[in-house]
């Protein structure tokens, strides 16, 4: 009985994403439908992230005002960083603000300082939200069926054990899906607002991508300068080096010609000297094979 129940549950779970769009509310009369059968823009789930850079004369004060603004708008500060010690030179804040009040907050940024840059990104997570909801709904239906099966106690002991194991697995799945659903809902309800504050007169901090791009540009510039320097040096010193090379070669060949005429520039004359000792040649040519030296008369080494 349990074996027949579990495949049916799995098939229903797999078909959940396809059945989810059928539960979308009908459009009001006269309201245009979105292209491709999608829900209208007003009904879509968006995960919004904004990034703003402000310039202010008092970074610490501006950061404090933005913290208070986050509380006033029903949000909170999820991350905050300052640099410069007592003399705060820059600060970065990450605020979580209710999405419906985001534009109201951003409209007042100009009162905190000069806006240097401002961007907004809206990620559509409608399908992801519907998929999670359907999977969670089906998992809870499976849990209910398994609980009903265990309460009836009509199956064998093996069926009961299999049902308890399946129930533990489905409850683990429910907890995981429920956590993912809560995180996604939080990201939809609360927009992420990233604010960078710099002090007047200071350079705007650059991102990692900007620093890498600038480093690559500087590297290419240095390589070009080095290549130009080599060409300039060759063009400047080349004629002088060629002149000295010509003088040296002329002197060398003249000395070699004179030496060959008088016999002191030959291979035999330039060969290292060899000295002969009692056991053969010694010196630089000691490794060369030596001719056998006949024994002298009266030598002590005689055959027995």
pLDDT class for 22, splitting at 50, 70, 90?
very low
pLDDT class for 301, splitting at 50, 70, 90?
very low
Average pLDDT of span 213-228: 81
Q: Which of 125, 114, 123 lies closest to 50, judged by CA?
A: 123
Distances (CA, A) of 104 to 71, 101, 109, 110, 197: 14, 5, 9, 12, 19
Helix, coil or strand: residue 279: coil
Instruction: Report the distance separating Cα 254 and Cα 104, nearest Å.
Output: 94
Percent of the chain as helix, strand, coil, to the nearest 5:
55, 20, 25
The pairing of beta strand 280-282 with beta strand 275-277: antiparallel
Phi, psi of 89 (to 5 degrees): -100, -30
- Per-domain boundaries in the chain: 2-18+43-199, 223-268
- At 91 the pLDDT is 92
Instruction: Report the distance separating Cα 208 and Cα 50, nearest Å.
Output: 18
- At 24 the pLDDT is 37
Candidate ranges 42-46, 107-111, 217-221; pick with highest mean pLDDT: 107-111
Summarize pLDDT for 153-176 with one digit per residue, the tens: 776 778 788 888 999 999 999 999
pLDDT class for 201, splitting at 50, 70, 90?
low
Any residues with CB less than 8 A from the CB of 172 and at least 6 apart, and which? none
pLDDT class for 230, splitting at 50, 70, 90?
confident
pLDDT class for 29, splitting at 50, 70, 90?
very low
Tell me the pLDDT of the chain averaged across its residues: 77
Any residues with CB less than 8 A from the CB of 53 and at least 6 apart, and which? 115, 116, 117, 118, 195, 196, 197, 198, 204
Helix, coil or strand: residue 39: coil
Any residues with CB less than 8 A from the CB of 33 and at least 6 apart, and which? 27, 40
- At 251 the pLDDT is 84
More reliable by pLDDT, 255 or 98: 98
Q: What is the pTM of this model?
A: 0.52
Helix, coil or strand: residue 60: helix
pLDDT score of 249 more than 90: no
């Amino acid at each position: 009985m349990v074996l027949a129940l579990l495949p049916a549950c799995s098939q229903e779970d797999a078909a959940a994403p396809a059945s989810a769009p059928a539960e979308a509310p009908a459009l009001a009369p006269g309201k245009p439908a979105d292209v491709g059968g999608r829900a209208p823009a007003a009904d879509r789930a968006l995960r919004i992230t904004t990034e703003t850079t402000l310039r202010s004369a008092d970074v610490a004060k501006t950061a404090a005002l933005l913290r208070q603004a986050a509380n006033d708008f029903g949000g909170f500060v999820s991350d905050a960083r300052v640099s410069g010690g007592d003399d705060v030179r820059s600060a970065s804040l990450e605020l979580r603000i209710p999405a419906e009040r985001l534009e109201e907050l951003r409209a007042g940024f100009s009162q905190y300082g000069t806006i240097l840059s401002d961007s907004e990104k809206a990620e559509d997570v409608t399908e992801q939200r519907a998929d999670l909801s359907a999977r969670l709904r089906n998992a809870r239906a499976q849990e209910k069926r398994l609980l009903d099966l265990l309460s009836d106690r009509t199956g064998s002991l093996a069926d009961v054990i299999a049902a308890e194991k399946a129930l533990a697995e489905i409850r683990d799945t429910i907890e995981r899906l429920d956590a993912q659903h809560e995180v996604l809902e939080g990201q939809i309800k609360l927009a992420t607002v990233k604010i960078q504050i710099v002090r007047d007169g200071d350079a705007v901090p650059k991102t990692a991508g900007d620093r890498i791009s600038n480093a690559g540009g500087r590297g290419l510039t240095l390589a070009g300068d080095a290549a130009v320097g080599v060409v300039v040096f060759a063009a400047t010193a080349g004629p002088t080096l060629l002149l000295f090379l010509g003088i040296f070669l002329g002197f060398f060949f003249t000395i070699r010609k004179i030496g060959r005429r008088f016999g002191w520039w030959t291979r035999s004359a330039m060969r290292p000297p060899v000295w002969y000792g009692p056991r053969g040649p010694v010196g630089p040519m000691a490794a060369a094979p030596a001719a056998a030296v006949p024994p002298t008369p009266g030598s002590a080494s005689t055959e027995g």
